[in-house]
Structure 1
Amino acid sequence: MMFLAIVLPFLSFIVRGKVLTGIICLILQITLIGWLPAAIWAVMSLNNERANERNQELIRAVRESQK
C-alpha cells in the first residue's frame, strides 16, 4: 500500500474509501510539481490511519484488562 501511495497517491485514497479526497489529490497530482506534495500527503495519511488503528487496539486491550 505504501508503494501505491507514492506512485499513485490518488488511488491510495480511493482504495481506502476516501473518494472525495482521492479526487482532490488527483487534481493536485495532475501537475508535475503537485505530484510530490500529493505523494507526501498520501503517505502521511496512510501512516496516520495505521497509527489510529494501533491506538484503538491498545485502548481496547487496556479496557479488556481492566474488567
Structure 2
Amino acid sequence: MRLIIALLFPWLLFFTIGRPIAGLICLALQITLVGWLPAAIWAVYSLSQYKTDQKIDAFRREQFR
C-alpha cells in the first residue's frame, strides 16, 4: 500500500513514515510536473530505507532479549 502512495502521492509517504520535513520538501518538488518523477523516486528510495531500518531494529531487539 505504501508503494502505491509513494508513486501517486510521494509527499504523503513521508508523513506516514514519520518524516514531515521531508514531506514538505517533497510536496514543493512535486508541485511542478517536472519534479514529480524525482519526488516519486525519492519516496520509493526512502520507503526501502525505512523498511531496512525496521528490520535492523527488529534484529537488534531480538539480539538483546
What's the TM-score, normalizing by structure 2?
0.87
Stretch of structure 1 that moved more, 55-64 or 35-44: 55-64
- Write the distance in 2 (CA, Å) between the matches of 1:58 and 1:18: 23
Gap regions ≥5 residues in structure 1: none
Aligned residues: 64
Q: Which residue in the other structure is 1:4 paired with? A: 5
- Write the distance in 2 (CA, Å) between the matches of 1:61 and 1:11: 31
Q: Deviations over 1:13-55 (max 9, x none)?
A: 1222322111100110111111001001011101101101101
Structure with bigger RCO (C-alpha 8 Å, 6+ apart): 2
Query: Tell me, what secondary structure is at the counterpart of 2:64?
Result: helix
What's the TM-score, normalizing by structure 1?
0.85
Gap regions ≥5 residues in structure 2: none
Report the CA distance between 1:60 and its aligned residue. Answer: 1.9
Cα RMSD over matched residues? 1.1
Read off the aligned partner of 1:36 and give its amino acid letter. L
Aligned-pair identity in percent equals 42
Q: Which residue in the other structure is 2:16 paired with? A: 15
State the structure with more CA Rg: 1
Runs of 4+ with >6 A deviation: none
